[in-house]
Every structure is written in structure tokens, then in C-alpha cells.
A and B are shown apart, each in its own frame.
Chain A
Amino acid sequence: MDAAGHGGEEGPVTVTRCHVTTGFFVLGRCGQAAAASCARCVRPVCAAHAGPGGLCPECAAAQGYGTHDPHEPSWTAGYRRHYYQSSSHAYADATWYASFDEYDRGAFDPGDDYAHGGDWGPDDDTGFVDS
């Protein structure tokens, strides 16, 4: 579940990690030991994330295997892409969708610590300002 918790594996064997995107606003990687590769996008998937037809949750949703019932745990992953699309549209912000899509397609490697952005200091306390 947690993107931050799987960087420091020790021992001689390199384990292939599940590359499925987790989260909704705060994206991460599953990071469990992979058991297979997605039949469509070939990303490594763990046993829990391998869905119908050997598909990862994203590809399963894209192929119409997704559920429309939010009581189902798998609903969230399917709704996430709809959300990124509809919010990019509402914000007229194509980079917003692109940042999600790039993340999902693995342009960011699991385990990296990204530090770009952030162009002002943390102690720059000016109170609330309209943005």
C-alpha cells in the first residue's frame, strides 16, 4: 500500500516489485513482490493486483472489467482515471492529467525521492493570501 516503505530491501536477491499505482490524490506504488506481468501493459503485478485475464487494475478498468459499485474495493482505481480526466477538464489544465498519466505509466521510478518544484522557503509565513 505504501510508496515510501519499500525502498530498503536487503539481501542478494533483487525482488521485482508490483508497479501498480495506488492512492487517489497522493499516488504511490504498491511495492509488494510481483507475481506476474500485466497481459496488456506488462507492468509487474503482485498476486493481489492481478485481475481478470491477468490484467493490472488500470488495464482491467480500461477493458471494461471495472465495477461501478463503490462498495467494491476495486471501484477506487477505476474511478481515479475518470477523476483525473474530469478535473483536468474542469481546470482547463492538461498538465494535471499528464502528471497523473506519466506517473501511472511509470515515468517516475518507485523508490525515487523527487524534490523538484518548491520555489519558496518553508518559513515564508505571510498568512492567508488569495491565490
Chain B
Amino acid sequence: MIKVKINGQEQNWDGDPDLPLLWFLRDEVGLTGTKYGCGQALCGSCTVIIDKQAVRACITSVSDVVGRDVTTIEGLHPTGDHPVQKAWRQLNVPQCGYCQTGQIMQGAALLMDNPKPSHDQIREAMAGNICRCGCYQRIENAVHLASTGV
């Protein structure tokens, strides 16, 4: 039995310890805000935050996160009003929205690390997150807006 902490809550897992965290979150815990896009750390849809770092849940196994705090989009802010989330809404960022939770988690992690990123730094830090709808211009501006206070 493995015990892991997701959004402050303890979760037990008695199955395959190598199960990717992504599927544990989505299928076993029911936290479906974390999305599948590639399964190979190529797209960022599955981004969660572990110890202030953006992590791809699709290549992280459940056993890897034992004893660490995993934050998913559902736990980013108690009322969903993290500055990045607010900036996102202010700029009407999403199109289909599927990639957006991963983008928001990546953006939030960036601001933990670098509260005032330049546009170039944003473009670099967010380059691991694909948006097939092509919302990049607004994503970039929303991260910037979040960094200046919303």
C-alpha cells in the first residue's frame, strides 16, 4: 500500500506502484482536471506542481511522489482565484480549453520560481506546453498579467 498526498489529502494506492501519476489522478482518484495529451512528456497537458516545480504526471509514477506534496489544478487555489487563473479569465485565453489546466499549472509554477518573468522568459518556460488551438499569444499575455498583479 502506497500513501500519497494530493492537494493536501492523503490517498492510498494498492495497485501497480509504477502506474503513471496521471492515470492515478484521473482514473483512481477522480481528479480529471489533469489531462492526457501525449503520455511522453511532450505536451504539458498533464502538468501538476510538486514541491513548487512543474512536473509531467504522465511520466511520473505514483511511487515517485510518496512523501511529496502534489498539487493539481483542483488544488491550485481554494476558490479557483489564483492570479494566473484570474488573468486567464480576464484575457479570455482558452479556446477548446483542454490544454489550459496544464498551461495554468505551468504558468503558476513559473511565477513561483520567477515572479516577474520577461516575455522571452515566459515564451521559453511555457514552450513545453502545447496548445493545438493556438492560444499562445493570450497565454503569454496572461502569465505576464498575472505577474503584474490582477
Judge: A and B partners, yes or no.
no
Q: Which A positions have Cβ atoms within 8 angstroms of B?
A: none
